Amino acid sequence: MTARLTARDITLRYGDRVVSTRLSLDVPDGAFTAIVGPNACGKSTLLRALVRLLRPHEGQVEFDGREVTGYPAKALAKQLGFLPQDPLAPEDIKVRQLVARGRFPHQSLLALRSPDDEAAITGAMVAAGVEDLGDRPAQELSGGQRQRVWMAMVLAQETPYLLLDEPTSFLDITHQYQLLGLLARLRNEGRTVIAVLHDINQACRFADHLVAMKDGRVVAEGDPGDIVDAALIKDVFDLPSVIVPDPVTDTPMVVPTLQGE
pLDDT average, residue stretch 24-41:
97
Q: How far apart are the first and last CA of the chain?
A: 46
pLDDT average, residue stretch 188-195:
97
Is residue 236 predicted with pLDDT exceeding 80?
Answer: yes
**pLDDT value, residue 110:** 66
User: Under a CB-based contact definition with an 8 Å cutoff, are residues 122 and 131 in contact?
Assistant: yes
Q: What's the pTM value of the predicted model, to 2 decimals?
A: 0.94
Query: Any idea which of 28-37, 51-60, 85-94 has the lowest mean pLDDT?
Result: 85-94
**pLDDT value, residue 91:** 87
Per-residue pLDDT tens digits for 134-177: 999 999 999 999 999 999 999 999 999 999 999 999 999 999 99
**pLDDT value, residue 161:** 98
Between the alpha carbon of residue 243 and those of residues 8, 138, 176, 259, the distances in Å are 32, 41, 22, 16
**pLDDT value, residue 194:** 98
| Beta pairing, strands 192-196 & 32-36 | parallel
Domains of the chain: 1-79+159-261 (3.40.50.300), 86-158 (no CATH)
Q: Which residues lie closer than 8 Å to 65 by C-beta, 6 or more apart?
A: none
Nearest to 209 by CA among 192, 185, 232, 231: 192
Confidence category of residue 90, pLDDT binned at 50, 70, 90: confident
Question: CA-CA distance, 30 to 5, in Å (whole number)?
Answer: 11
Sheet with 209-214, edge to edge strand ranges: 80-83, 161-165, 192-196, 32-36, 209-214, 217-222
**pLDDT value, residue 86:** 84
